[in-house]
């Protein structure tokens, strides 16, 4: 595995791959790599000649009161995971390399960022779109891999690629979960033991919502209530939102249908967790 920290080194490595006619698969990450990232890397490995992964904790997508400073960072462990998953090229830029000055021109997401995560985290999805746009330009992959875990981010990236004619194919990968259902996340490391036990309610609640749909409920409020009841009742949590939305626009739906996304964000102690299921 080749490790590069600069765009120039990255470019010469990807140019060489391009000259060989090799298709590049790309997995952008913020590090603290876990089984969710590994699933993306394995899929990229299976579908491409050359696999590029990036590790960059992007300050543009963190709000002023968010966890940028304490976000878990472990370069040695990340490199071990990338090598074990057969990555060819690891791109590990520092902040000065990616943003030598704060970018003056940025992407702004429209209505898609006025809902759910966009409301709770102003500027977050703009910051994600801006860094992913730059990374896609730097790496030039045929395919780029994203997790369904961050369903609204995925919708934003898909829309960005369509709206702005990026030549990259976006591949969505299913959410990887712990045996008890909790979606694997770098932020799970923040949870104390009791919080970690409580956190299992997210997936149980979303599953209850999906079960209500499977049992024939078509009123979105009824599907959402089935999930909300578990979060608010026994667990005593106050979700930021529990919402059944269209997977492309993230707008509320009038009637529950297969393929829609039931999403939630819940604060467990100081840690904000997000998860979703597809009906
Ligand atoms: P992050 O490092 O958190 O920015 O995530 C990098 C990529 O991994 C994103 O496309 C995420 O959606 C994806 N990802 C994170 N957690 C999971 C998971 N549990 N299952 C599948 N993909 C995930």
* Tokens standing for residue 62: 């963190």
* Tokens standing for residue 178: 């712990």
**pTM given for the model:** 0.97
Other beta carbons within 10 angstroms of residue 253's beta carbon come to 18
How far away, in angstroms, is 174 Cα from ligand 1 center? 10
CA 75, CA 16: separation in Å to the nearest integer?
A: 26
Q: What is the pLDDT of residues 15-50, one digit of tens each?
A: 988 878 789 999 999 999 999 999 999 999 999 999
Residue 183 is given by DSSP the state B
Answer whether residue 235 shows pLDDT above 80: no
How far away, in angstroms, is 35 Cα from ligand 1 center? 9
What is the Cα Rg of the chain in Å? Answer: 19
Q: Which residues contact 76 (CB under 8 A, 6 or more apart)?
A: none
Mean predicted confidence (pLDDT) in 213-239: 94
Identify any residues that bridge with 132 across adjacent strands, giving them in sequence order: none
Identify any residues that bridge with 53 across adjacent strands, giving them in sequence order: 27, 90
Which residues approach ligand 1 with their CB closer than 6 A?
Answer: 29-30, 36-37, 39-40, 146-147, 149-150, 173, 175-176, 183-186
Residue nearest atom 18 in ligand 1 by C-alpha distance: 36
Burial class from Cβ neighbours inside 10 Å (0-12, 13-18, 19+) for residue 214 reads: exposed
Residue the block writes with tokens 């997790």: 147
Minimal CA–CA distance to 255: which of 244, 263, 239? 244
* Tokens standing for residue 86: 């057969």
Determine contact, residues 263/116, Cβ cutoff 8 Å: yes
CA 167, CA 233: separation in Å to the nearest integer?
A: 47
Q: What is the pLDDT of residues 68-124, one digit of tens each?
A: 998 889 999 999 999 999 999 999 999 999 999 999 999 999 999 999 999 999 999
């Amino acid at each position: 595995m080749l490790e590069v920290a600069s765009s120039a080194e990255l470019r010469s490595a990807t140019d060489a791959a391009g000259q060989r006619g090799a298709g590049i698969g790309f997995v952008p990450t913020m590090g603290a790599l876990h089984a969710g990232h590994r699933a993306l890397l394995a899929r990229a490995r299976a579908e491409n000649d050359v696999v590029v992964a990036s590790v960059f904790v992007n300050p543009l997508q963190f709000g002023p009161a968010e966890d940028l400073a304490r976000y878990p960072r472990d370069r040695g462990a990340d490199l071990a995971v990338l090598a074990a998953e057969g990555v060819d090229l690891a791109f590990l830029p520092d902040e000065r390399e990616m943003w030598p000055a704060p970018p003056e021109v940025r992407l702004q997401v429209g209505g898609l960022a006025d809902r759910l995560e966009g409301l709770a985290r102003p500027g977050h999805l703009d910051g994600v779109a801006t860094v992913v746009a730059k990374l896609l330009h730097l790496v030039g992959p045929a395919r780029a891999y994203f997790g369904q875990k961050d369903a609204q981010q995925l919708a934003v990236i898909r829309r960005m690629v369509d709206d702005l004619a990026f030549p990259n194919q976006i591949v969505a990968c299913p959410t990887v979960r712990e045996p008890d259902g909790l979606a694997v996340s770098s932020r799970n490391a923040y949870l104390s033991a009791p919080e970690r036990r409580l956190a299992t309610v997210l997936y149980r609640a979303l599953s209850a919502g999906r079960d209500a749909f499977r049992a024939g409920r078509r009123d979105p409020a009824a599907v959402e209530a089935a999930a909300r009841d578990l979060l608010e009742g026994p667990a005593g949590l106050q979700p930021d939102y529990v919402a059944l939305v269209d997977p492309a626009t993230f707008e509320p739906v009038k009637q529950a249908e297969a393929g829609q996304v039931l999403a939630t964000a819940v604060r467990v102690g100081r840690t904000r967790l997000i998860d979703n299921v597809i009906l």
